[in-house]
Amino acid sequence: MYKLIFILLFQYPTNSPLSKDTNFPVILYDFLKLQDEDGFTGNEFEFWVDLKDEFRYSVCPLDAIPFAWTGNNGIHFAFLTDFGRNKDLNKAPIICVAPTYDPAITLVANNIHDFLGLLTSVENAPLLADRYKNQNDFEEAKKDRLGWYEDEDRVTIKRKKLISKIRRKFNLKHFDNAFEYMEQIRRLRSTKVDHTSKDELGIFKNTSEDIISFKYSKDPKEIMDFLGRANKDSRLLFYRNCTYSYILSDNYDAIAKNIIEIYLKNDGYKAEADRLKFY
């Protein structure tokens, strides 16, 4: 069996291109056009829409599709597809991926419309990467982050005008209590998922079979043993956890990466397998 697996490892290309038919929400393309206009550089919120997948870090979930970044510490934002469950990206949850933070993955919005409303409410994208005790704790962090230039009236006025423009254009909601909104959607998701995961996002099962967890190992034989005998939902949990457990790059966990790619494709997760080229 192992000989066959190793033969297959070299039959699957590790640099297959990402699918080019990703249907990003129209609001993102409109926001991108606005971002190109004079007077809006992205610096105002430390937020840049970028519909490429090139700034993905190894900790980014395989079922996440990045769409924007902050320019700080690798922080980026992505749609969570829940391994194909969320086919309409207009309705897909939004996560923040912050490689140097703990936790590194944070659910921040229920959908892209809420996310842009949240962004214009908090006025600074990197703030969404952290966790807070309460709204006051969040407001203190915001003050610390924006306070160093908040006395500059021209900066504040410019940002406030931009916020009003964006809200009118996209009919965005203002979130008075960003902390409570994010805490609420995280609590709600935790009650809906069928099994917890290392990144706190959890998974939705495909069957009623019991899930078995993989005890971390870098031994290719143990990885293949587990994936070969586990049911599909147990492998799904493995796929969710693997980006937290391995650095899936050719310089680190290349063999594990190739094994995972094979099983992802066999399980019908081709899009997720194709994204491994960016790790």
- What is the number of structural domains in the chain? 2
Is there a single domain that holds both residue 107 and residue 169? yes
Query: Comparing C-alpha atoms, which of 68, 103, 61 is closest to residue 82?
Result: 61
pLDDT recorded at residue 99:
95
**Least confidently predicted of 28-42, 179-193, 207-221:** 28-42
Alpha-carbon gap, residue 178 to 184, rounded angstroms: 10
Do 173 and 163 have their domain in common? yes
- Confidence bin at 22 (pLDDT 50/70/90): confident
Query: Do both 79 and 116 map to the same domain?
Result: yes
Task: Render pLDDT for 93-109 as a digit per residue (tens, 0 to 9).
Answer: 999 999 999 999 999 99
Distances (CA, A) of 264 to 92, 142, 217, 232, 279: 21, 40, 18, 10, 15
- Answer yes or no: is 243 within a domain: yes
In a domain, 117, yes or no: yes
Three-state SS at 199: coil
Residue span of the structural domain in which 162 resides: 26-52+59-192
State pTM to two decimals.
Answer: 0.90
Mean pLDDT of 237-245: 97
Query: Does residue 161 sit in the same domain as residue 257?
Result: no
Which of 49-53, 109-113, 185-189, 272-276 has the lowest average pLDDT?
Answer: 49-53
Are residue 126 and residue 199 in the same domain, yes or no? no
